[in-house]
Amino acid sequence: MSGATKSFLYPDSVGERSTPTYRATWMSNGVPVQAGSVSSILFWLRDVRTGAIVNGRDGVNVFNVNGGALVNGVFTLQLASEDTQHYGDGKAEKRLMTFDVLLQSGGRLTREVSFYVRSFQDVPSAGSPGGSPP
């Protein structure tokens, strides 16, 4: 699978308790993976520093359930606010999403994506520099 790992670097991160959407076109042999060729898409979400599973996302099926959808070759996953909970005392925590795509043909594709979760203390508030206008 091409482009198996992608990172979003801080400050290109998500705010704590936000519900961002991950979107990607996954390729197999130069062609977007279509829903009809997939048996399941298993999903893990880990805190990189501790290795802990976040929000029970431990091999959860996200193939058109649990916030995931594969439509016309584009996979989207709507993260829940519990997926972006900030647990530490630093400004940002790195998370790793791992997707294991099982194909009808018996093949398998793996994709890993990392991103940072900013704590509330680091998210600009309305009226502050970088925040929403008052």
Inter-residue contact 38 to 101 (CB < 8 Å) = yes
In a domain, 106, yes or no: yes
Q: List b or e across 40-58, with b for residues whose CB sees 16 or more CB atoms inside 10 angstroms.
A: ebbbbbbbeeeeeebeebe
State yes or no: pLDDT of 8 exceeds 60: no
Q: Is 124 helix (H, G, I), strand (E, B) or coil?
A: coil
The tally of domains found in the chain comes to: 1
pLDDT score recorded for residue 57? 98
In a domain, 129, yes or no: no
pLDDT tier at 120, thresholds 50, 70, 90 = confident
What's the chain's average pLDDT? 84
Q: Is the pTM of this model over 0.75?
A: yes
For 116, the token pair is: 């940072």
In a domain, 133, yes or no: no
Cα(77)–Cα(63) distance, rounded to whole angstroms?
9
pLDDT score recorded for residue 133? 28
pLDDT digits (tens, 9 = 90+) for 47-91: 999 999 999 999 999 999 999 999 999 999 999 999 999 988 788
In a domain, 131, yes or no: no
CATH of the domain at 96: 2.60.40.1220
Inter-residue contact 117 to 16 (CB < 8 Å) = yes
pLDDT tier at 123, thresholds 50, 70, 90 = low
Q: Return the higher-pLDDT residue of 120 and 73.
A: 73
Domain coverage including residue 63: 5-83+91-122
